[in-house]
Structure 1
Amino acid sequence: MTGGTRGIGNAIVHVLAEEGCALATCGRAPERIESLRRQMDAAGVRFHGETVQGRDGEAMRNWMRNSVEALGGLDIFIASLSAGGGTDEERYWYRNFEIDLMSAVRGVEEALPALRRSQSPSILILATMAASETFVAPMAYNAIKAALVTWSKQLSQQLAPEGIRVNCLSPGPTMFKGSNWEMIRVARSRIYDNAVRQQPTRRMGTAEEIARSAVFLASPAASWCNGSHLLVDGGFSKRVPF
């Protein structure tokens, strides 16, 4: 999976490891890759990690090829890499386009040959609740994540005849160390407090709660889920998806 060194992506890596998976991930911080490598080695998990900048298409493709070789195959590909929020300036549109959308597209394209050889192939794309419902997150981030939702649905139809499932998961407001919400709680407490008030449980989700739903959707346990878009937000969103 891409983006497995921090936050929700890192939680997914750990849940997959608990389930006995061999793992490969990438991230932009070499010290985080090495820290994760030590954790996986200590747990006896087969692991491959590389430092990759999300905008670097060739590096992304190389990482995927190296991962398939290191692991001896591929059953699940999870696209979790994200540039995060930012502002609505034009440069952030390009940033989210390259990192959130195109890193996923390139990863899927490079993963497909190996997935076609798997007995239970699956692709999971991570988006956001803000792709489906108006929210405070920057418009560039929301719009690009919405593109991921649409793309994953179309991809599911295209790949279904080959037995490759494609699903999308959209987390709601989630708190973890270093998250945007952690910063907002300090710098813009009114926005944070308002978000918590909108949450029926009066708390934000945890990265592990999102991760367990993600691992289910990516796993053979969800064999009849294809083209699904799962909101994991603790009831934050109010729309009824007829």
Structure 2
Amino acid sequence: MDLGLRGKKAVVTGGSRGIGRAIADLLADEGADVAICARNAEQVAAAVEALKAKGVNAWGQVVDIADGQALKAFVQQAGETLGGIDIMVSNASALVQGNGEEEWQAMFDIDVMGAVRTFEAAKPFLLKAGEANGDAAFLITSSVSAAQADNPSSYGTMKAALIHYAKGVARENAPKHVRCNVISPGTVFFEGGVWGNVKAGMPQFFEQMIKRNPTGRMATPEEVAAATVFLASPRSAFTTGINMLVDGAISSRVNF
């Protein structure tokens, strides 16, 4: 299936590793030019070179997502460097659990305000793309943790806030051909990631989590990326305001 992404301009925050890197890679594989940001300079440089090797234009910058002005400046420069933004993916996360003030602040600054600021900075580019091409897309990475709670959790609460925010963005901007959707992964395994570290440090707990999923495994970043890129593409032009679970049925709630 041709997703209609060749020549599109896409920006991905947290795009140097894990899910973000897989999203950037797949967008490039589909022919889109890609800009990424992350905190590690070496990882950003390596990712940009790999993206360029796929035959597309690619650009990257080191950004602390919690720094609102730096984040907005990155999105602005990405749009100028690529020549527009058709697709904006807010993927960066603080990835902290807990109920302490530091965890709450980190999740608010990076996950929630990171998404809000990213969209506000990208909005002029997205509106222009929507008017010119009839479709532009803003994607947010949330989590299945948004829908379950065993204790007070800054992570799950802020991920749930993103889903609510996305619905408002979707409804307000639908007449302008700018869509907004959320992707909520379950457990995702890759070396050096959260569950990769759990497997190395707490193998018994890791095996317990594997058994909780009816599929008997965790997702790969590429599987989450595939769902994200499909929702970002013109093939999904009438899909907006949804929260797509990519969790292998680990959650038991009915999602509608």
Q: Number of aligned pairs? A: 241
Q: 2:124 aligns with which of 92, 113, 116?
A: 113
How far residue 41 of structure 1 moved from its aligned partner, in angstroms, is: 2.4
Q: 1:93 aligns with which of 91, 104, 108?
A: 104
Partner of 1:134: 149
Q: Distance in 1 between matches of 2:150 and 2:255?
A: 17
Q: Does the CA contact (< 8 Å) of 2:191 and 2:197 recur in 1?
A: no
Partner of 1:164: 178
Partner of 2:48: 37
Q: Distance in 1 between matches of 2:63 and 2:82?
A: 18
Q: Distance in 1 between matches of 2:91 and 2:127?
A: 21
Q: Distance in 2 between matches of 1:68 and 1:15?
A: 19
Aligned positions of 1:1-242 closer than 5 A = 1-118=12-129, 119=133, 120-134=135-149, 139-242=153-256
SS of 2:117 mapped into structure 1 = helix
SS of 2:36 mapped into structure 1 = strand
SS of 2:168 mapped into structure 1 = helix
**1:152-211, CA deviations, whole angstroms, 9 ceiling, x for partnerless residues?**
011111111111111111001000121111111232333322211111111101000110
Instruction: Name the % identity.
Output: 37
SS of 1:210 mapped into structure 2 = helix
Q: Distance in 2 between matches of 1:46 and 1:213?
A: 23
Q: TM-score, normalised by structure 1?
A: 0.96
Q: Can you give the 5+ residue segments of structure 2 that lack an aligned partner in the other structure?
A: 1-11
SS of 1:9 mapped into structure 2 = helix
SS of 1:200 mapped into structure 2 = coil
Q: Distance in 2 between matches of 1:184 and 1:135?
A: 20
Q: Can you give the 5+ residue segments of structure 1 that lack an aligned partner in the other structure?
A: none
How far residue 135 of structure 1 moved from its aligned partner, in angstroms, is: 6.2
**1:116-160, CA deviations, whole angstroms, 9 ceiling, x for partnerless residues?**
111221111110011012368x81111111100110011111111
Partner of 2:3: none
Q: Does the CA contact (< 8 Å) of 2:51 and 2:58 recur in 1?
A: yes
SS of 1:15 mapped into structure 2 = helix
